[in-house]
Amino acid sequence: GDSVTQMEGPVTLSEEAFLTINCTYTATGYPSLFWYVQYPGEGLQLLLKATKADDKGSNKGFEATYRKETTSFHLEKGSVQVSDSAVYFCALPSQGAQKLVFGQGTRLTINP
Amino acid sequence: GAGVSQSPSNKVTEKGKDVELRCDPISGHTALYWYRQSLGQGLEFLIYFQGNSAPDKSGLPSDRFSAERTGGSVSTLTIQRTQQEDSAVYLCASSPMGWFDSPLHFGNGTRLTVT
């Protein structure tokens, strides 16, 4: 079935470091891909999305490019801030079903 | 405007007791989802409502779990005869039509602890 695999966390970085959180997927066809973020004490919210191959989603300085060749959707940010500390989830729609399948989440901590 | 509201925010119960978890979606959102978030696990899909109907309840782990939605609005997830493995954060999300139309809006969740 359709699935998402994220890099295991937790990830700890210093402020202004470069961030990559890996996400690979298994799916039938070329579904839309999503990154959701869960800040401490808050509900999950959509961070960015890409709807077709080679699309780049971006928001709040984060970017992710839909790579069908490598079935990947890695999340990147050039210079992280303490406020980026959160749990990040990669997700895709389940084929034929009206639901999102999420990865296991990656906890990111940014130290000042 | 108001977001998705879940209650209670925390629930501690004894093994074998029944619990009810409530979700108030954003007004006008027809799609409603329940997910479960366990430590070290991803978000596990439980059930999806479109209006008051549940076209996909494939994620409910056992017949001890049930959910209903009334008036196309409030939803209740009921767990009967709770077990320790039911301990998790239960998340509710809503969307105007479904994931494909607009982002899911999540509540803060109910943390369930079964002792």
pLDDT tens digits, one per residue of A34-43: 999 999 989 9
Chain A residue with minimal CA distance to B102? A46
B56 vs A46, A89, A97: nearest CB: A97
Alpha carbon of B79: minimum distance to chain A alpha carbons (Å) = 22
Average pLDDT value over all residues in chain A: 93
Long-range contacts of A61-64 (CB under 8 A, 24+ apart): A62/A35, A64/A23, A64/A33, A64/A35
> What distance in Å separates the CA atoms of residue A9 and residue A87, rounded to the nearest whole number?
9
pLDDT for res A97: 67
CA dist A71 → A26, A38, A64, A92, B78 (Å): 7, 24, 12, 12, 38
pLDDT higher than 70, residue A78: yes
Q: What is the pLDDT of residue B100?
A: 65
Of B4, B99, B108, the CB nearest to A99: B99
Closest Cβ opposite residue B4 in set A43, A93, A102: A43
More confident residue, B48 or A97: B48
Q: What is the pLDDT of residue B72?
A: 87
pLDDT of residue B98: 67
In this prediction, residue B101 carries a pLDDT of: 58
- Is a pLDDT exceeding 80 seen at residue A95? no
With 80 as the cut, is the pLDDT of residue A64 above it? yes
B106–A45 C-beta distance less than 8 A = yes
Q: Do B43 and A102 touch (CB under 8 A)?
A: yes
Work out the average pLDDT over A5-16.
92
Res. A1 pLDDT band, cuts 50 70 90: confident
Structural contact between residues A11 and A107, judged by C-beta atoms closer than 8 angstroms: yes
| Chain B interface disruption, residue of A24, A44, A47, A101, most B CBs within 10 A | A44
Residues of B within 8 A of A99 (CB-CB) are 33, 45, 48, 56, 59, 99
Residue A29: pLDDT band by 50, 70, 90 thresholds?
A: confident
What's the pLDDT at A20?
Answer: 97
Q: Which residues of chain B carry a pLDDT beneath 70?
A: 1, 40, 98-101
A7/B25: higher pLDDT: B25
